[in-house]
Amino acid sequence: MGSESLKVQISVKNFNFFYGKFQALREINLNIPDRQITAIIGPSGCGKSTFIRSFNRMNELIASVSMQGEIILDSENILELDPVSLRKRIGMVFQRPNPFPKSIYENVAFGPRAHGMKNKVQLDEIVEKSLKEAFLWDEVKDELTKSGLSLSGGQQQRLCIARALAIEPEIILMDEPASALDPFATLKIEELMQDLKEKYTIVIVTHNMQQAARASDYTAFFNMGPDRAGYLVEHDITQKIFTNPKEKLTEDYISGRFG
Ligand code: ADP
Ligand code: MG
């Protein structure tokens, strides 16, 4: 796949995923490189959300599921790790901005507090640092006690990113983080991602081809078989996927011929 020279952050091996009896993902093999942006693309229902939610074991919170294979993070299988400590290492941002009905400050302080931090000075520092990293500090620094819900959609999404950063994760998962935002707010999120990848590995699901092409380093294209199980068609450097893919199916998808 061309990323052999990069350090692998997450290695997915022969991964199969089931909701009850329904197989949502089949035999996925994929390496996610460290401190790069990997985009997951593919038609609706092919298992993109299921796939990234497997990384922080979120699927188990919403349904009765079973899995086979391995998702290796630092030589440990995620599927065998304690979900709570795992979610401290892997933060997540969702499709709809979902700030808590609390102040801007408390939204960002939430994670560190939940993990036992009580020191006010330290909390203040983390809140400021996280809001700065999320490109939101300048817009909210004088109104940290205002409700997170009073912000615009784009600001709310950056607040959710700040909230994810506050627990100092290694990996940030983003499931269509800009699909509810206007084009300007979308570009802001993409700019922000370029900054964040200096420190964090980012995996982003997007149905927006331009966004995947603009904002990611690697792209994984998923499709689904006749039984609707999702599988990986092709994974490569983003530029390669969008200019000279190996598979005809990839070319058909990125040029809008299906999906
Ligand atoms: P995508 O994000 O690519 O649109 P999803 O991961 O949401 O795809 O869904 C993949 C498949 O799994 C779909 O067929 C969907 O209907 C099914 N699915 C998703 N969530 C659940 C669930 N909680 N219970 C049962 N089936 C689900
Ligand atoms: Mg989805």
Note the pLDDT of residue 259.
79
Q: What is the pLDDT of residues 9-24, one digit of tens each?
A: 999 999 999 999 999 9
Q: What is the pLDDT of residues 195-220, one digit of tens each?
A: 999 999 999 999 999 999 999 999 99
Which of the 8 DSSP states describes residue 50? H
Note the pLDDT of residue 1.
47
How many angstroms separate the alpha carbon of residue 46 from the centre of ligand 1?
A: 8
- The number of residues in the chain equals 259
Q: What is the pLDDT of residues 30-67, one digit of tens each?
A: 999 999 999 999 999 999 999 999 999 999 988 899 99
Note the pLDDT of residue 4.
52
Ordered strands of the 22-33 beta sheet: 76-77, 65-73, 8-19, 22-33, 230-237, 218-224, 37-41, 201-205, 171-175, 90-93
With CA atoms as reference, report the closest residue to 39 among 166, 178, 147. 178
CA distance 137 to 158: 10
The answer to whether residue 108 scores a pLDDT higher than 70 is: yes
- Say if CB 43 and CB 87 are below 8 A apart: no
Atom of ligand 1 nearest to the CA of 42: 3
- Could you say which ligand is closest to the alpha carbon of residue 229? 1
For a ligand 1 pocket test, name from 26, 50, 92, 205 the mutation site with the most ligand atoms within 8 angstroms of its C-beta: 50
What are 257's two structure tokens? 């011929």
Residue nearest to atom 26 of ligand 1 (CA): 19
pLDDT (average), residues 228-234: 98
With CA atoms as reference, report the closest residue to 250 among 230, 223, 218. 223
Q: Which alpha helices (DSSP H) does 75-176 contain, by range?
A: 83-89, 104-114, 120-133, 137-140, 153-165
Note the pLDDT of residue 233.
98
Q: What is the largest CA-CA distance in the chain?
A: 56
pTM for the whole thing?
Answer: 0.95
The answer to whether residue 100 scores a pLDDT higher than 80 is: yes
How many angstroms separate the alpha carbon of residue 5 from the centre of ligand 2?
A: 30
Task: Quote the strand ranges of the chain, DSSP E.
Answer: 8-19, 22-33, 37-41, 65-73, 76-77, 90-93, 171-175, 201-205, 218-224, 230-237
**pLDDT confidence bin for 3, thresholds 50/70/90:** very low
Residue 153's alpha-carbon distances to 137, 145, 156, 187, in angstroms, are 16, 18, 5, 13
DSSP string for residues in 14-35: EEEEEETTEEEEEEEEEEEETT
- Which are the contacts of 136, defined by CB distance < 8 A and separation ≥ 6? 155, 158, 159, 162
- Say if CB 91 and CB 171 are below 8 A apart: yes
How does 6-31 read in b/e, with b if 16+ C-beta sit within 10 Å? Answer: eeebbebeebebbeeeebbbbebebb
